[in-house]
Amino acid sequence: MSKEVGENELIETCGRARKASRSRDMLSSLKNRVVNLEESVGDMKETLKEVLTRMEELMECSKEFVLDTLRSTSNKLTVRDESLEALVTVMKEKIVELKGELIIYKVALGSRILASRSKYTDKKCGRTPIRTWEKFQRELKKQFYQQHAEKEAPASLRRLT
């Protein structure tokens, strides 16, 4: 597109054509870049959706794992708690039993002390020493119970009414 008017105008027309051609090239290049960017953004959106989906799956899996672990730990602690409670119960029973034995030993020790003190008087009076538990219980009852308490108790009750 040149005009025959003058050299200056011819150059200007060529310069305009070059500028227009460069502008078209730049515009075409920009369009290609925009298309490439749009494709990249689309790919990134798909990748982001995939990543988010996988994260949700992982969250569900980890949630189930944590819940299973908590249930298992809770069950184990429940079993341990029950065994500890059973152990405490057995130990309390054993303590009661041991306290009973301690009382028996104290009484037996006391009777031995009494027996050792009264050996002299037993020999003097002709009594035999206490050697069995049953005999000790009988002798102890004789010292603290009245001889005719069984007969006198009902009679006393009758007098009160």
Is the pLDDT higher at 122 or at 19? Answer: 19
Task: Indicate the SS3 state at residue 96.
Answer: helix
The two three-digit tokens of residue 10, written as one number: 């011819």
**Domain limits of the chain?**
7-129
CB atoms within 10 A of CB 60: 10
Phi, psi torsion values for 33, nearest 5 degrees? -65, -40
By the 8 A CB rule, do 130 and 111 touch?
Answer: yes
The pLDDT assigned to 55 comes to 92
pLDDT at 3: 44
Backbone angles phi, psi at 56, to 5 degrees: -60, -40
**For 2-56, what is each residue's pLDDT tens digit?**
444 444 444 455 556 667 788 888 888 899 999 998 998 988 999 999 999 999 9
d(CA 110, CA 131): 13
Report if pTM > 0.75: no
Rounded-to-integer distance, Cα 112 and Cα 118, Å:
9
Instruction: Summarize pLDDT for 74-95 with one digit per residue, the tens.
Output: 999 999 999 999 999 999 999 9
Q: What is the pLDDT of residue 2?
A: 43
Q: Are the C-beta atoms of residues 26 and 10 closer than 8 Å to each other?
A: no
Q: pLDDT tens, 98-114?
A: 988 888 888 777 766 65
Location of structure tokens 């009902």: 154
Q: Residue 51: its pLDDT value, please?
A: 92
